[in-house]
Structure 1
Amino acid sequence: MSAQAIAAATKALRAYLKSSLSPGRSVTLLPPGEDPPLTGSGVNLYLYRVGESPHLRNQAYPGNRAGAPARDVPVLSLELSYLLTPFGPTPGSDDETDEAHAALGEAMLALHDEPILNQVHRPGFDADTELAAALRDSFEDVRVRLDALSVEDLSRIWSTIGKPYRLSAAYQVSLVQLRGATSGYAVPPATAPQITLGTHAAPQLAALVPARGPAATLSGGAVVPGRVRVEGAGLAGPGRTPAVTVAGVPARLIGPPAADVFTMELPRTLPAGPEAEVRVTLDGGPGSSVLVFRVDPWAAAATPVRTAPGGPTTVVVTGTGLATAAEIIATDSTGTPRFSAAVDPTGTDDGTATAVLPAATLTNLAPGSTPNGRYDLRVRLASGALTNPRPLLVAPILTPVTGAPGGSEYDPADRRLTLRGARLDGHDVRLSVDAAEYSLGPHTDPATVTHQFPRPLQPGEHTVAVIVDGFRSDFLRVRA
């Protein structure tokens, strides 16, 4: 873990906030009390405290997902505390919106919706590319939570800084780990009295059969996870069941384990690869030696990570072992294939597979239903082998109306707003206007949403979106 992890965490948090705010808003890293930009609005992110995690003090370095081995050196596990302070033009008596408050609300909602930065994959911020390797490959996720500080606590912080109090929200980011480069401890770690009731030898791994293969296969129209036989010694015992992980992800055992062999099912998702470390522990005891299973074929990334219908969508999967790719398929949360497209042989080699999803493919996922949602993209080889999955979010889309003010149609006399787009039908459809939600209930028109407000919208610009079964469209600016 690099000593630059603190700077990388701040950079990643700033990039995520910037991608989540409305266009034109900015995210600064100024010391508290410094003058914000003369124009515009946004939030200021300030790291005001760095503390050691009390739960992981004196822990040895566990290695990382990139394959760096664990070493007998101390790791410094940190929790970072930030102040999030909004700024914007001072509102006049006739202004309808306080831009500073609006920016703070957008930022807080973004951190509430996606509290684990490693799991964010959307336009503007993809953890696979935005996070530095020190954070992306760590076994610990970068988690953000609102720090429940009282007004007195916040006032005390500002007083300590020597600046007058300003509206702020406090956040804590964990876990960021720093590792030294030397071996051995410079200072012996603190120890506590321990009572040992008994000891067991660590499991010993001898072989994986096979040691290389696909994460899953397509059989009978269903995704079947790959299976691997684990051979060794001390893998199980009376009343002792092994726990096995692949690339840090728990794997399911198939059948009862024996002391020298058991069969496992590869996890649905693997955070690192194509070389995935396999470890075995018994009842929380010492871990086994490590063997490596090579996932072949392997999908390292897929673009886009978010799409919507309205035209053909080109999907590109990069990785290894893709030379004989036949198609790219998408499965739902149950592992059932929902749509697919043949791979373009002219754009395919060992490291790349390309396919074009026609608009009709995305519009007709099921008779009478066009569910938005998260799908798993996999490449299927001619042999039936499947890669590990990569996420694809299919979401509603709003299409600006040409020539209409704000890209939509709003009739102030009738108080009626009409929005057009695609994939707007669902069981629970809501209209979001300036963060206020209006429930429309079940909606069957995939191309149009119409809502009559109980009273006219305030004159000016409004931010609108459509939420279909929990999946939000892109925002659209509407002028009333």
Structure 2
Amino acid sequence: MPDFDVVADVSETLRSVVTAGLSTLMPPPAPTAEVVDLLRPVQSSSSAKVTIFLYEIAEDPSARNRPYLRRPAGADVELQRPPMALLLRYMVTPWSGDWSTDQKILGRVLQIFYDNAILSGPQLQAGLAGTSEAIKLTLAPITLEDRARVWYSVQQPYRLSLTYEARVVNLDSVDIQGARRAREVAAQGAEASA
């Protein structure tokens, strides 16, 4: 059951999947992926890397208004709000110092996310490992103006990058209410016939 740390768990899952997928790029050393907040400058190093930046969290409108979950609790029933379905929007950026290598890295990331459009089972990391959750990845381009705003907001120069949505990420509610089971149903207005 996904808890409040589910957002960080999805980020860690993406980092792991991208790092594993980039391991096939030649020549070595292969780029690695890291989750960043872009508020601090990305450390330049001799090896290429890919940053994964969570820039927006939203509620998935297609999953709103789901019914309460009912669970037996002895002779009664517990009612729990359904999980909040989240959309996580990520910006994936290569950092190699060379435009050609950056574009090759972006091409490989596109392949990785296309081939692994639904992450589940052993691909899931951290608190999602061993759960039945599935994360659907979709390329979600934003306008150049919106992309420039993201870079401007973190006071970094614009860089070529990809934007992806991860959905449906469920965040469990802690709102649980007790309810009594109905024991008898009485029909009102019905008279007994003799």
Distance of 2:110 and 2:85 partners within structure 1: 25
Across the aligned residues of Structure 1 and Structure 2, the Cα RMSD in angstroms comes to 2.7
- The one-letter amino acid of 2:131's match is D
2:94 corresponds to: 86
Shift of 1:130: 4.0
The 5 A counterparts of 1:253-402 are: none
Per-residue deviation at 1:99?
1.8
1:147 matched to 2:103? The reply is no
| Residues 200-220 of structure 1 deviation map (CA, whole Å, 9 limit, x = unaligned) | xxxxxxxxxxxxxxxxxxxxx
Cα distance change on mapping 1:107 and 1:36 into 2, 3 Å: farther
For residue 142 of structure 1, give the secondary structure of its aligned residue in structure 2: strand
* 1:18–1:25 contact (8 Å) kept in structure 2: yes
SS, match of residue 108 in structure 1: helix
Residue by residue over 1:131-151, the C-alpha shift from the partner in whole angstroms, topping out at 9 and shown as x without a partner, is 34546534x520001002121
Aligned AA (1:131): Q
Deviating beyond 6 angstroms after TM superposition, the runs of 4 or more aligned structure 1 residues are none
Counterpart code for 1:54: P
| 1:103 and 2:105 are equivalent in the alignment | yes
Q: 7, 27, 30: which is aligned to 1:24?
A: 30
Q: Which amino acid in the other structure matches residue 12 of structure 2?
A: K
Letter in 1 for 2:153: T
Which stretch of the first structure deviates more once superposed, 35-44 or 53-62?
53-62
Residue of structure 2 aligned with 1:72, choices 80, 85, 89: 80
* C-alpha contact (below 8 Å) 2:80/2:175 kept by paired residues: no
Q: For structure 1, which runs of at least 5 residues remain unmatched after alignment?
A: 64-68, 92-97, 119-126, 185-480
Q: Distance in 1 between matches of 2:68 and 2:46?
A: 46
Give aligned pairs, total. 165
Q: Distance in 1 between matches of 2:128 and 2:42?
A: 33
Q: Which amino acid aligns with 2:141?
A: A
Say whether 1:38 aligns with 2:32: no
Residues 83 and 172, structure 2, Cα contact 8 Å, conserved in 1: yes
Check 1:35–1:105 CA distance in 2 against 1; reply closer, same or farther (3 A cut). same
What does residue range 2-17 of structure 1 map to in structure 2 within 5 Å? 2-17=3-18
SS in structure 2 of the partner of residue 117 of structure 1: strand
* Cα distance between partner residues in 2 of 1:129 and 1:105: 21
Cα distance change on mapping 1:160 and 1:133 into 2, 3 Å:
closer
Secondary structure at 2:56 match in 1: strand
Q: 1:131 to 1:177 in 2, by over 3 A?
A: same
Query: Which residue is 1:54 aligned to?
Result: 61
Q: Is the 8 A contact 1:42 1:100 kept in 2?
A: no
User: Structure 1, residues 226-280: CA drift from partner, whole Å, max 9, x if none?
Assistant: xxxxxxxxxxxxxxxxxxxxxxxxxxxxxxxxxxxxxxxxxxxxxxxxxxxxxxx
Matching residue of 1:172: 165
CA distance, structure 2, for counterparts of residue 103 and residue 130 of structure 1: 23
- CA–CA separation in structure 2 for the residues paired with 1:179 and 1:86: 33
Contact kept, 8 Å, 1:135 with 1:176, in 2: the verdict is no
Instruction: Work out whether residues 9 and 135 of structure 1, in 8 Å CA contact, stay in contact via their aligned partners in 2.
Output: no
Contact 1:60 1:72 in 2 (8 A): no
CA distance in 2, matches of 1:61, 1:165: 44
Equivalent pair of 2:83/2:171 in contact (CA under 8 Å): yes
CA displacement 1:9-40 (0-9 Å, x = unmatched): 11011100000002521112223372234111
The change in CA–CA distance for 1:158 and 1:129 in structure 2 (over 3 A counts) is: closer
Report if the CA contact (8 A) 1:50-1:79 is conserved: yes
SS in structure 1 of the partner of residue 165 of structure 2: strand
Answer whether contact 1:27 1:45 (CA < 8 A) is retained: yes
| Structure number having the greater helix percentage | 2
Deviation at 1:161, TM superposition (A): 2.9
Q: CA deviation at 1:88?
A: 0.3
1:153, CA displacement in angstroms?
Answer: 2.0
Relative distance call for 1:40 and 1:53 in structure 2 (3 A) is: same
1:143-198 per-position Cα deviation (integer Å, ceiling 9, x unaligned): 001002121221122223332211111100001111122313xxxxxxxxxxxxxx
Distance 2:66 2:125 in 1: 24
**Aligned-partner Cα distance in 1 for 2:169–2:156:** 28
Name the aligned partner's letter for residue 140 of structure 2: D
CA contact (8 A) 2:122 2:129 kept: no
Q: Tell me the residue number matched to 2:149.
A: 156
| Structure 1 partner of 2:181 | none
TM-score (norm 2): 0.74
